[in-house]
Amino acid sequence: MIILSTSAHFDYLPIFIIAAIAWITPLLLSMLRLKKVPTVLVEIILGFVVARYFIGGLPDDTTHILEFLAQVGLIFLMFLSGLEIDVDKIIASFPRKKVTVSRFVSNPLMVGFFYFIIALILAYASAFGISYLIDIPNIWYFALIMVATSLGIVMPVLKERGDINSRYGQMIIIAASLSDFFGIVLFTITAFLIKSGFRYELLYIFGIFILFYLFYIIGQRARHFPIIKKLVYQLSHAAAQIQVRGSMVLILVFVVIAQYIGGEVVYLGAFLSGLFLSSLLHKERSTILLKLDGMGFGFFIPFFFIMVGAQFDPAGLKEFDASQIWFLAALLVSLYALNVLPAILWRRIFGLRKALAGGFLMASRLSLVIVASAIGLELGVITPGINAAFILLAVATCFISPYLFNLIAPDASLEGNKTILIGGNKIAVLLAKRLKMHGKKAVIIEKDSERAAEIRSKGIYCIEGDGNDMKVYKEVSIATADYAVVETGSSRENYKICKMLKNDLQHDKIITRSFTSIFEEKLKKLDVTTIDLTGVLATTIESLILRPTTYHALVESFESFSVQEIVIRNKEVDGMQVKEVPFHKDVILMMVKRNNSFFIPHGDTYFRLGDILHVFGTDSALENTRQKMG
């Protein structure tokens, strides 16, 4: 019989100290304006300090509790790593035609796979060479630690630069995702072989993948059952929090099964549970992701990183003696070389600079390196000194890699089609945020330096300059296809800037608003698109009266769904009927514009080159449709 103890005789101080470190770390980084410094880095450093001056020499029962919470944090970290991978985009990248050289270099899945293979070969060669400098107990496992990357560093850097939804960004993200996936699988199998040898239980690991596939098939079908959708909707926001509870059960299903195979397989199980949930969610817009992020990064995951710092032993580096500097230098160079050299695969599409920049970014390492190194130390296949070196260099790459990427890669915010917003008022900031959510680039021009700095602090690209100065438009590389939205708050100022853009720069795509009929007439003579605020307000009120449900559905689901115009440029689609095109399941074809006429398409409707499709759906589904039509 299990008896629940409600005794308060437990030392909660260590847990309080660690929770306080997790809480105060992001606050300190924000106050000191060090937002680009990874939070986990500071947590590791503070964990090292606290262990030596505040919570050293703890009794066994308290230590076990802290180790358990750190273990749960590691499981949560692996789960969220799997959840980061966009399964829809990877599936959409599977080749469906005969593979040629041009199709190979433009396919992110195939390039990403070969990127990993080349990096793995180079990692093993580097590990073999480094073994002449120091004693490496297991060269293969050492190489697997080297090849691990960090999707958690790659994605924020790309997102900050506005590259997250570009072809370039997706190439890097899928390559990083594959490196994470294959890295976890390989070091799990290797760890099992090291610990237990080549036994028939090894086949159970492959059984987990079969289980994952069965879950995936069942999940894809079950989520469309009306009764399940109804229950989830009714319970998701109630006290029951059925989605969060279901996610926890899902994690534990794979973790419990994995633990009966081997302790080192548990992390693979957690990773697969995240990958499975990712396949069911539109994760970038899902409320459940925010809740799981809050549970993981808000409480459990900091315990893992702080305990990594607490257990970090810098004295382990002394085992290298005079070879220490040469070993660290060789390892750091190798960590970059094995990622930069395979990046040449991207040269044909993006050019040498962007290819090399992508390689340097892929060299970012943190979570998986620390996890693999910790497991290797426990198994005895790496020494405490090697473990300490990997932690130090993983931290170093978190600083070096994003810096080199931003230094080498051309500024993505000014490349390609973009919207230039002249005037940094609240409307411009809101519009920039909404465009960014759709993967569109926006640049704000604001002449007030304090206001410009405030806008940049919100993660929006902003240039300090006067909209009346022609030089500022050269600075933002204004192009014919770019939209210029003039919103200074003054009709006179708006007209003056629009006149300069139209007459001096010969720019056509200009949008502004006018507060008076006099300036509205002047703007129309310039052939500038004006916004009638009265008409917009009347239309909004009309929608609220006549179609309130539809209006609220479109407005409230903005972050999940959107309407986009997609031009048919793919010659293979020309002449095909609507029913012959395999549209993504999460898009709806609403309308087609051909020349100057609009019509609602049906299954027998034929597509023509140049048709403009008005499509409603999720971001990933719209991107999939754009690739098919372009």
Mean pLDDT of 128-150: 85
pLDDT greater at residue 559 or residue 306: 306
Cα–Cα dist 591/85, whole Å: 32
pLDDT at 593: 87
DSSP-assigned letter for residue 285: G
Identify which has the larger pLDDT, 6 or 463.
Answer: 463
For tokens 């399940």, name the residue: 228
d(CA 280, CA 283): 8
Mean pLDDT lowest for which of 35-39, 415-419, 446-450? 35-39
Which pLDDT score is estimated for 572? 82
Q: What share of the chain is helix, strand, coil (3-state, %, to 5)?
A: 65, 10, 25
Report helix angle 548-556 to 533-546, nearest 10.
Answer: 110
Q: Residue 1 has what pLDDT?
A: 47
Q: Dihedral (C-alpha) 275, 276, 279, 284: value to the nearest 10 degrees? A: -50
Q: Does 484 or 227 have the greater pLDDT score?
A: 484
pLDDT at 264 over 70: no
Q: What is the pLDDT of residue 561?
A: 67
Give pLDDT, residue 8.
54
What's the whole-number mean pLDDT along residues 32-54?
74
| Domains defined along the chain, listed by start | 13-408 (1.20.1530.20), 415-537 (3.40.50.720), 561-629 (3.30.70.1450)
Question: If phi over 0 gives left and psi between -120 and 50 gives alpha, with beta otherwise, what is residue 9?
Answer: beta
Which of 66-70, 259-263, 410-414 reaches the highest mean pLDDT? 66-70
Q: Which helix (H) or strand (E) holds 592?
A: strand 587-594
Query: Does the pLDDT of residue 557 top 60, yes or no?
Result: no
Contacts of residue 8, defined as CB under 8 A and 6 or more positions apart, other chains included, come to none
Question: For residue 93, which of 101, 103, 102 has the smallest C-alpha distance?
Answer: 103
pLDDT score for 516: 74
Asked whether the predicted pLDDT for residue 212 surpasses 60, the reply is yes
Q: What is the mean pLDDT of residues 183-194?
A: 81
Does position 284 have pLDDT exceeding 50, yes or no? no
Exposure string over 390-410, b if 16+ CB within 10 A, otherwise e: bbebbbebbebbbebbbebbe
Pairing of strands 462-464, 510-513: unpaired
Residue that has been written with the tokens 């490349």 in this structure:
415
Roughly what angle, to the nearest 10 degrees, separates helices 242-259 and 287-295? Answer: 60
Does residue 579 surpass a pLDDT of 70?
yes
What's the pLDDT at 283? 46
Query: Looking at residue 230, what is its pLDDT?
Result: 60
Q: For the CA atoms of the chain, what is the radius of gyration?
A: 27
Residue appearing with tokens 């980061």? 84
In tens, the pLDDT along 95-126 reads 666 767 666 777 777 888 889 899 999 999 99
User: Strand 612-617 vs strand 562-567: parallel, antiparallel, or unpaired?
Assistant: antiparallel
**Cβ within 8 Å of residue 231, ≥6 positions away:** 242
pLDDT (mean) for 298-311: 80
Q: What is the pLDDT of residues 140-156, one digit of tens each?
A: 988 888 887 776 677 66
pLDDT digits (tens, 9 = 90+) for 604-616: 788 888 888 888 8
Residues near 262 by Cβ (< 8 Å), separated by ≥ 6? 191, 192, 195, 196, 201
pLDDT for position 118: 92
CA-wise closest residue to 383 among 145, 138, 197, 123: 138
Residue closest to 500 by CA, chosen among 472, 481, 520, 521 = 472
Q: What is the pLDDT of residues 500-528, one digit of tens each?
A: 888 888 888 888 887 777 777 888 888 88
- The pLDDT mean for the chain works out to 78
Q: 383 with 143: CB under 8 angstroms? A: no
| pLDDT greater than 70 at residue 37 | no
Which of 347-351, 385-389, 487-491, 583-587 has the least mean pLDDT? 583-587
Give the mean pLDDT of 23-33: 77
Q: What is the pLDDT of residue 251?
A: 81
Q: What is the pLDDT of residue 5?
A: 52
Q: How far apart are CA 275 and CA 181, in angstroms?
A: 10
Q: Which of 166-175, 232-241, 605-614 has the lowest mean pLDDT?
A: 232-241
Q: Is the pLDDT of residue 386 over 50?
A: yes
